[in-house]
Amino acid sequence: MTLLTNPPRSTLPRPTWQTVSVNVILFGLFAASLWAVADLKINVATIIDSADNAVSFIGRIFPLDFPPIGELVTMTAQTLGIVLLATVLSVILSMFVALAAAHNTTPGTSLRWGARAIIVVTRTIPELVLAILFLRLFGLGAVAGILALGLHSIGMVGKLYADAIEDTDPGPRDALRAAGASWWQQIVGGVFPQAMPAFVATALHRFDINLRASVILGYVGVSGIGLELSGALRTMNYQRGMALALFVVALCIVVELISGALRKMVLGDQAPAHRTIWTRMREKVATAQNGWLDRGAAVTSEARARTAAARTADGNYRVSPPWTGERIRRTIYVVLFALALVFATWGAQIDLSRMADGFGSMFNTLSLFFPPGTGGIGSELWEQLLVTVQIALAATFIGLVVAVPVGLLAARNVAPTPGIAKGFRIFIVAVRGIPDLIFAIIVIVVTGLGATAGAIALSVGAIGLLSKLIADSVEETDVRVQQAVLAGGATRMQVLIGATVRQSGPAIIAHIFYQLDSNIRAATLLGVVGAGGIGFYLMNAARVMQFDVVTMVVVMIFVVVMAVEGLAIWVRRVIS
């Protein structure tokens, strides 16, 4: 018998300075969020005090005054046309930017970092600021909105496209290279077909986002529903304004449902599920472990299968694939999309001569924005920047508190019944379909102007997005771990905390940082309608043509967003 001379050491790893630092940072953000909620006076008493205003507001908006059906159809067509053209523009430009940003398609470090810089800058500059610039260049109308939404979208679309390209299997491209294909032929034949499901899914998702963003551009003169909505609210015509707001909400929900259905019809089973950075990392490790021989064998087998399928009865080979039901269906989708693009271009009434004049005066216009200046209100800008960060922190915290239970109950592997999960998924879709601007307008009328209204409005939007991300992350967890814990006699709550939440914890932390990043930029935009923060000064500077102050505000927001993103990248790297 062997005696234990020393007690067994703990199997728990010793905390490193990095893990301690992450815990300190997370605790600091938690404390800062509580401070923001308290400082902005977001509490039950504030809501109770605003009850009379809410009742009065409801009395002022009824009966709703919808525009005539002809005007409503025209406004809707203008808005959808702007959003469609902007999304297509962003997709086309993002493909080239993504190819330059992906490490497996661009060996040069300088070009890759340059493309990544374009992605970061376009994502950070608000579409409202781009719209102000393009309105100055091209005047009122649809062109400014198309360019503003299209260029701003590169920040998100380009990043996701680059991630999708980096996730592709190098086997097909290696096979094409071995056969003597050029670089572009390798990309078209070996990379794009694998990444196409992610490309289409991202484009449809961006269309939904651009539709919501197009509403706020009406406040600076971009045509469509947003322009009519801003005009009604400026004249305190709440019956018309709320009727248009309700129509926008319904339109956003319908478009999101249609885009989801289109994604399933076009992509079928190829539609990629939601994947977090942690899922992609695991997939890359698994791909590396497969080895080059396995990939080469798979490519060879696939090529032989295609060759056999292409051989006709008389021994010859087809030049083109057969017209199957799937090919006919996809061809119809392409034709319908092309027709929609033609009608959108026609409805936008793009004046090429006016655009040429605008590009000719671009350097003179850009000189108005540089160098950045404070306009004598530097101290106020810094104070309002702090308020903007407070709004983002408070909104993220409130949204997270509500989103955790909603997201868990929306996950199919956690909800008690499938019906409950489906019900909460419908709730999430309904909340996400309401633009933050609409929430902000309603809350401002009820609670008054200020940062409190902005924080409450953004918190509702955060509930929708965080709930979806949390539900998706929980559903991605390994069910075998949960089954093992359950087999050991654990209760349902112990399985949830010890297995499900523990697995999805890193992804949820990443989602929180993403939401905080988004809320900082969104808080800037909501200041346009009086929801507090630095956005109010941004809009005033644009109205009095102090464009150097506009640039200064953008630079300040850029610095804050980059600081948050850098912190998020470091935290994700430590906890991964």
pLDDT in tens, 313-337: 445 555 566 777 777 877 887 888 8
Q: Is the separation of the CB atoms in 239 and 66 below 8 Å? A: no
49 has a pLDDT exceeding 80:
no
Is the pLDDT at 498 greater than 80, yes or no?
A: no
Q: Where are the alpha helices (DSSP H) in 411-435?
A: 418-432
288 vs 548, higher pLDDT: 548
In 3D space, the residue among 465, 468, 470 whose CA is nearest the CA of residue 496 turns out to be 470
Most confident stretch, 21-25, 151-155, 305-309, 412-416: 151-155
What is the tens place of the pLDDT at every residue in 359-373? Answer: 788 888 888 888 888
Task: Phi first, then psi: give them for residue 141, nearest 5 degrees.
Answer: 135, -160
In the predicted structure, residue 390 carries a pLDDT above the cut 80: yes
> Quick one: which H or E segment has residue 356?
helix 352-360
Q: Give the Cα separation of 219 and 241 in Å (integer).
A: 13
Q: What is the pLDDT of residue 224?
A: 86
Which whole number is the average pLDDT over 35-64? Answer: 80
Residue 146: predicted pLDDT: 92
Element containing residue 318 per DSSP (H, E):
none
The overall average pLDDT reported for the chain is: 80
Residue at token pair 């102050």: 549
Q: Which of 125, 146, 175 is nearest to 344 (CA)?
A: 146
For residue 287, the model assigns a pLDDT of 42
Read off the pLDDT of residues 435-494 as tens digits, 9 standing for 90 and up: 777 888 888 877 777 888 888 888 888 898 888 888 888 877 766 777 777 777 766 677
Query: Residue 511's pLDDT is what?
Result: 84
Contact 421, 410 (CB under 8 A): yes
Specify the DSSP class assigned to residue 220: G
Question: CA 357, CA 139: separation in Å to the nearest integer?
Answer: 11
In contact, 220 and 128? CB cutoff 8 Å? yes
For residues 217-245, give the mean pLDDT.
86
Q: What is the pLDDT of residues 107-155, one digit of tens each?
A: 777 888 899 889 988 888 888 888 888 888 887 778 889 999 999 999 8
Token digits for 71?
């005007």
pLDDT at 48 over 70: yes
The CATH T-level fold of domain 19-49+373-576 is MetI-like fold (1.10.3720)
Dist. CA 99–CA 107, nearest whole Å: 11
Which residue spans of the chain are classified as CATH 1.10.3720.10? 19-49+373-576, 63-298+326-364
**Whole-angstrom Cα distance, residue 468 to residue 421?**
12
Could you give the percent of the chain with pLDDT greater than 90? 12
What integer is the mean pLDDT of 386-393? Answer: 92
pLDDT at 37 over 80: yes
pLDDT for the residue numbered 298: 47
pLDDT grade for 95, boundaries at 50, 70 and 90: very high
pLDDT at 158 over 70: yes
For residue 163, the model assigns a pLDDT of 87
How far apart CA 199 and CA 95 sit, in angstroms, is 9
Q: Which residues pair with 317 in a beta bridge?
A: 311
Rounded to whole angstroms, how far apart are CA atoms 465 and 451?
21
| Burial readout 344-367 (b: 16 or more C-beta within 10 A, e: otherwise) | bbebbeeeeeebeebeeeeeeeee
pTM of model > 0.75: yes
Q: Which of 173, 10, 22, 42 is nearest to 443 (CA)?
A: 42
Residue 31 CA to its chain's centroid (Å): 27
Find out whether 247 and 419 touch, Cβ atoms under 8 Å: no
- Three-state secondary-structure class, residue 222: strand
How open is the CA angle 443-448-452, to the nearest 5 degrees?
A: 65
**Neighbour-count burial of 32, counting CB atoms closer than 10 A to its CB (0-12 exposed, 13-18 middle, 19+ buried):** middle
Peptide bond into 15 cis (omega under 30): no
Paired tokens of 72: 């409503």
Which two three-digit tokens encode residue 564?
């948050």
- Name the token pair of 76: 């809707």
- The answer to whether 93 touches 154, Cβ cutoff 8 Å, is yes
Q: Which residues, 6 or more positions from 287, have their beta carbon under 8 angstroms from its beta carbon? A: 169
The helices-and-strands tally (H runs, E runs) of the chain is 26, 0
What pLDDT, on a 0 to 100 scale, did the predictor assign at position 135? Answer: 86
Residue 87 pLDDT grade (very low, low, confident, very high; cuts 50, 70, 90):
very high
pLDDT of residue 474: 82
Amino acid, res. 124? T
CA–CA gap between residue 71 and residue 537 (Å, rounded): 33
Angstrom distance (rounded) from CA 518 to CA 522? 6
Facing residues of 306 across strands? none
Closest CA to 445 of 238, 158, 212: 238
Whole-number pLDDT of residue 270:
45
Fold of 63-298+326-364: MetI-like fold (1.10.3720)
